[in-house]
Amino acid sequence: MRIRNFQEHPIPLYFITSLIIRFINYQGETTMKRKKEVKQDVTKTFVEMPVINPKAAGVDVGSRSFFVCVGQGPADVKEYGVFTCDLHQIATDLSENGMQTIAMESTGFYWKQLFVLLQDYGFEVILVNARHLKNVKGKKTDVVDSRWIQLMHSLGLLSASFLPDNLTGELRTYTRQRQYLIQQTAQQVHRMNKNLTLMNLQLKPILRDLTGLTGRLIIEAILSGNRSAETLAELIHPNCKHPKEVFIKALNGNFREEYLFELKQCYQMFCFLKNQIDVCDEKINGILEYKVWLHQQNKPELSPNSGMKKYKAPKNINFKNCPPQAIAQHANQLSDGVELLNIPGVNTGTILTLISEIGLDLTKFKTAKHFCSWLSLAPNNKITGAKIISSATPSNKNRVAMAFRDAANAIEHMNQNNPLKSFFKRLAVKKSRSVAITATARKIATIIWNMLTKKEQFRYTLAQDFQVKLKNQKIKTLNRIIQEFGITQNEIRFVI
């Protein structure tokens, strides 16, 4: 390649001048284009979000302090203590700042005292789910959280969590204490079984319930000093499945002192817990009687002297750890005669959990789908690009949903055939047992919502209509298979 010698052949001056002029014109045109583009961006209109609650405050609740925000300024956030005087100071300061509505966010139970006190002062207070406020911009601190709560609440973007009335809240406390005592009772029974096994007293394989009549008589006799297997075998109930000789073999063991000591303490704790459960039942029964009285005051036609028949439970509900039959009677009166025990799998424990957690007035949920979604029994569809990437039900420890799952689990073990049992078995074979439990629990929730909102009884006719529809679908499928493979009548054999 030949390199040009600029000394021998210089570039003409007019050529350099024309290049400079073209460059200047190009820069001018580019600058004008940029100015036009910037001018167009400035003229764009933006939509401003309206302030729905101008007098709104946000409170971030903690175990040791409360952060209260009344605005978005640097001095609008203040920290308070958790003592009673501090709670009154919060209410006083909010009143002085002219606040009318307050949003609180908490992940524990520390919000309850401040919530009730602010309501007594006349404020409109809502409790917000912490999951709805987790996406906070920047470093997450208590001050930033309180400002974010105040901003979102002033724009009307926060929804209140469901909270029961005071009487239902009191009933909820007793019911949850009863459930806790039942769990503690089960632990003591496990420890008694362990000590009997360590003494080689093999009662667990031959006794269905260690805390039944026979089991408790044998344990009390052992703790009183009786060691003879023949004498202990005389205490068995005549309805026991295994004969006396089997009990004599099972009751021959080594009665070691340390195991007897632990067995005695576990049995005493078991008896104490059973007495505490009875005390809880009395408290629960008293509150339900008061609720029935209030309900009858609002509806005089439902008073006891209005000619109503004496209540009789539609099925045997004397299951282990179930509340007494009076719970079913109170629920029947509070729901204006709607009998929830007619639903397969539902017992007094399920009804008590429903009453204590949300009550029997389900009109607060617009539809049955809203109710199932609140229970976390509906699929949580995650859609991106018009494609469902996940449809699993959200994980949520809702006590009512857990009660419905227990009822669905009990349906599988029922002796009598019913539509819900058929649905459970069909789905368990097609999908899995866990999916069948969730789907059956959702059906139970839908049935209960329709019964309580529409004041109608449980009808098997609807399920029978579904069975007829399912049968017609199966017949249609079989006809399609016969036509597809050309099956003749001689090739079909009906097994009766």
Query: Is residue 288 scored above 90 in pLDDT?
Result: yes
CA dihedral 309, 312, 313, 319 (to 10 degrees): 150
Query: Is residue 308 scored above 80 in pLDDT?
Result: no
- In the chain, % of residues over pLDDT 90: 37
Strands 387-390 vs 382-384: parallel, antiparallel or unpaired: antiparallel
Q: With bands split at pLDDT 50, 70 and 90, how would you rate the model's confidence at 40?
A: very low
Q: What is the DSSP-derived secondary structure letter of residue 491?
A: G
Nearest Cα neighbor of 94 from 65, 62, 112, 120 is 120
pLDDT for 248-275, tens place per residue?
A: 888 888 899 999 999 999 999 999 999 9
Q: What would the DSSP string read from start to end of 332-369?
A: HHHTTT--GGGSTT--HHHHHHHHHHT-S--TTSSSHH
The whole-chain average pLDDT of the chain stands at 83
pLDDT for 98-127, tens place per residue?
A: 999 999 988 788 898 999 999 999 999 999
Q: Which range has the worst mean pLDDT, 267-281, 451-465, 473-487? A: 451-465
pLDDT for 135-149, tens place per residue?
A: 666 667 888 888 888
Is residue 465 within 8 Å of 381, Cβ to Cβ? no
Query: Is residue 28 scored above 60 in pLDDT?
Result: no
Contacts 24+ apart (CB under 8 A), 144-148: 145/60, 145/67, 145/105, 146/58, 146/59, 146/60, 146/67, 146/68, 146/69, 146/77, 147/58, 147/69, 147/72, 147/76, 147/77, 148/58
Q: How far is CA 376 from the centre of its chain?
A: 6
56-154 classified as CATH 3.30.420.10? yes
Provide the pLDDT for residue 33: 44
* CA distance to 86, 106, 120, 163, 457, per residue, from 112 (Å): 14, 10, 12, 11, 37
pLDDT for 185-235, tens place per residue?
A: 999 999 999 999 999 998 888 888 888 888 999 999 999 998 888 888 888
Nearest Cα neighbor of 428 from 447, 409, 443 is 409
Provide the pLDDT for residue 3: 47
Count CB atoms within 10 A of the CB of residue 399.
Answer: 17
Residues 343 and 446: their CA atoms lie apart, in Å, by 11
Query: Is residue 39 scored above 50 in pLDDT?
Result: no
Residues in a beta bridge with 67: 60, 79
Which runs of E-coded beta strand occur in 164-227?
A: none
Is residue 360 within 8 Å of 331, Cβ to Cβ? yes
Nearest Cα neighbor of 213 from 320, 110, 290, 303 is 320
All structural domains of the chain with their residue ranges: 56-154, 168-287, 301-460
User: Who contacts 24 (Cβ-Cβ below 8 Å, separation ≥6)?
Assistant: none
Provide the pLDDT for residue 144: 85
Residue 370 in tokens: 């809203």
Provide the pLDDT for residue 34: 45
* Element holding 57 (H helix, E strand): strand 56-61
Residues 234 and 214: their CA atoms lie apart, in Å, by 10
Q: Which range has the worst mean pLDDT, 173-177, 316-320, 453-457? A: 316-320
Letter for the amino acid at 496? I
Q: With bands split at pLDDT 50, 70 and 90, how would you rate the model's confidence at 38?
A: very low
Provide the pLDDT for residue 12: 58
